[in-house]
Structure 1
């Protein structure tokens, strides 16, 4: 899934790039890391919003897609089985009628 413009992003490359910035500018380092792997849909949306200002956000997302990360918020998007999904559904039974 590597594009011509963006080579495959290894985790080490992401960490090296992130280390160029003050930790206060990196939401995943300045906040509880478990927020990016939360069960609550509200917490997941909060993590996604925090990523919007991250200086390594595009690199983080590209790397997560290349690595097919199994789950979590990466680069401001929620990934499940290596694919971006729009939102986390709450636990419980699915709706009986169409939303």
Structure 2
């Protein structure tokens, strides 16, 4: 299935990005206090990016679980079909467009 391969590639990319961010966050702060202020600010930004990446990873993981369960392409809320064009644009989509609009 093309969607599965795409999701697996997306997962690998997201995990690699998260690993790089976590490595950057693990580096000790500079001894210079003015540099520390910049690094702390950078770390806050990296932590926000890491949180977003973790959410994306979870979304892709759930999509892969739906593929394995044979429910991929079904809206998790109403049970209707998720349009192929929506899955092409967002292969991790769990909601049909109508249910997704209701979420907003």
For the aligned pair, the TM-score class normalised by the smaller chain equals: under 0.3
The structure whose residues are more often strand, as a share, is 1
Higher relative helix content: 2
Normalising by structure 2, report the TM-score.
0.25
